[in-house]
Amino acid sequence: MVQLICSEFDEFEEALYGVQGRYVLRTRQQRDWQLNVVDLNGVALMSGREGAGTVYTGIGLPGYFNIFVPLTAHESTVVDGHAFNHRRVGWMVPNAMFHINAKSPASWLTVAMSCELVLRWAAIREDEFDFSLLHRNLVSNAQRHLGPLLWLARRLFHIDAHAPQALHTDAAEQAARTEVMGVVFRLLLPVDPVHAAPRHNRDHKDILRRALELLDTLDIQSVYTEDICQATCASERTVRNVFNEYLGMSPHRYLMIRRLHAIRAAIRHAGPEDTITHICARFGVWDFGRFASLYRQYFGTLPAQSLKAAKALSHL
């Protein structure tokens, strides 16, 4: 994780991720400037604390979309002429200029997402995505409460600071990217049904059959909702409706439960040198605390206890 604490704004300005621009101080500096960045290889979370009231004029770098969420000084923050409140967020597209006017020192969170990942996300949700969002900056109220995004960001910053080895494997970064983008788009970006693509009637049983065949063919740790959409040639909303109709849960929850079962099986067949950390890393687990809680919720025991019992049985 990039961690920066500096007394001058110039170094802070140069370290910003996904944007390029210039600060103008509008008040006397009152505190140090602080910046934390978690880079997930295509998605980056950036938490900033400014040392003074500022005006920032910038442009989104080619290749990145950005979400901007003030954490403090909401009422004194104005983006492109739009006053903020506790519900508003800013959306910045690549190569478009924006202006952020903070009358007092502010703290904020941004999520930068590569164009490749955003376009891929939108393509499998074409029947509910407003594609005009790909071409314009936007300030609007979040559709839902911002709490899930802020909680997820705090967990990622904490784990990256204290257990980076758990987060920075290919599987864990992919899992974290998927979770972050799901929260961003589901909770923050408005969907315009007027511009949504027409829905196509599909045989739901056939979609479910193809989805389950995919899960039986591939290792469960490498499968995400996006993979199911591609394998079944169905949109994310259609896949979600099929899973809720036949399995009584979303594809995300079903994959999570299947992954828990696969981890349990791996623990029960663990070798002498296997640890919970090594087993979880194979399945893209990056938040061990949350994983342990879910494991105990479903199986009535902690993963470490399951591993201890499995190794004890292997010595009988």
Bigger pLDDT: 315 vs 20:
20
| Whether residue 314 has pLDDT greater than 80 | no
What is the per-residue pLDDT for 242?
A: 93
264, 291 in Cβ contact below 8 A? no
For 282-300, write each residue's pLDDT tens digit: 888 999 999 999 999 999 9
What is the per-residue pLDDT for 192?
A: 44
158, 98 in Cβ contact below 8 A? no
Tell me, yes or no, if the two domains 2-187 and 193-314 fold the same way: no
User: What global pTM score does this model have?
Assistant: 0.83
Give 2-187's CATH code, choosing from 2.60.120.10, 2.40.110.10, 2.160.10.10, 3.40.50.720: 2.60.120.10
Section 165-178 average pLDDT:
92
- Cβ neighbours of residue 254 closer than 8 Å, sequence gap 6 or more: 243, 247
Residue with tokens 């499995």: 310
Domain boundaries, the chain: 2-187, 193-314
Bigger pLDDT: 47 vs 185:
47
Section 177-198 average pLDDT:
68
Closest CA to 158 of 263, 260, 47, 72: 47
55, 67 in Cβ contact below 8 A? no
What is the per-residue pLDDT for 173?
A: 94
Which neighbouring-strand residues pair with 64?
114
What is the per-residue pLDDT for 284?
A: 87
* Longest alpha-carbon distance in the chain: 73
What is the per-residue pLDDT for 36?
A: 96
Closest CA to 60 of 80, 75, 77, 78: 80
What is the per-residue pLDDT for 185?
A: 87
User: Lowest mean pLDDT: which of 222-226, 237-241, 267-271, 301-305?
Assistant: 222-226
Torsion, CA 126, CA 221, CA 147, CA 107, rounded to 10: -100
Helices 303-314 and 288-299 pack at an angle, to 10 degrees, of 70
- Cβ neighbours of residue 154 closer than 8 Å, sequence gap 6 or more: none
pLDDT band at 305 (very low <50, low <70, confident <90, very high): very high
CA angle at 34 for the pair 32 and 36, rounded to the nearest 5° = 170
For 190-224, write each residue's pLDDT tens digit: 544 444 444 445 689 899 999 998 888 876 667 88
Backbone angles phi, psi at 248, to 5 degrees: 75, 20
DSSP 315: T
Section 159-174 average pLDDT:
92
The domain defined by 193-314 folds into Arc Repressor Mutant, subunit A (1.10.10)
For 86-128, write each residue's pLDDT tens digit: 889 999 999 999 999 999 999 999 999 999 999 998 888 887 7
Closest CA to 160 of 176, 179, 180: 176
